[in-house]
Structure 1
């Protein structure tokens, strides 16, 4: 499982010119699943993500977590995180989980975030989405559950 976290002041996702999800403050999270990913990968990734101290405290130091600041998450499914560009000019996505498995894991990921007390907005799995955000900092972090 791979995720890209972008600390954001605000973010939204639209599909066919209709806003389907938005947050005020927190993380935009691009989420991709590989063929061998399980709910254990979700648990590891969420625990790491919600406790990362990448929000500023009163002294301007990155010392507060998503939980500490009451941040929200805009969760976007992103199979292209598993692109292999080693050969040729067209990326291969064979390492990405099949759509049925990836969608089930994506839903489990979002449910686990909600269970942890995080407000979650989402796009739509498999849809052509336009994501807008104001990246705060900018701060962008990657997490790969296979490289803890």
Structure 2
């Protein structure tokens, strides 16, 4: 797999996925995104690199429609508009991203060996946090009587 940066579409498989999305009809695009996410969540063995890469790219497309989400890569991401994704796709994307970074995941292992692996993990964590924001810690409140 040719990878040139840490972004969701900065590799050959994700760029090919973007092309497939652009060539699909509007009605088929949601199904392609859902399929990529579902493959990652249904893995019972080690998550393969191609499936993990597509899950990250599909998650980025879902994130782009969330408050606080950023548009996908204009150079390598899809150039055609995506349909409005149903709310349920957000949690499927969260589950897929959890699988991508959990062991055993070929992609996570490859990035852990790369010099910029921590940057890739930050990208994936950011995607996940937009989909399912962490609950901020509550400060201890001292009541004075």
Confirm or deny a common fold (TM above 0.5).
no
TM-score (norm 2): 0.31
The structure that is strand-richer by fraction is: 1
Which protein is bigger by CA-based radius of gyration? 2
Higher-RCO chain (CA-CA 8 Å, sequence separation at least 6): 1
Give the TM-score taking structure 1 as reference length.
0.31
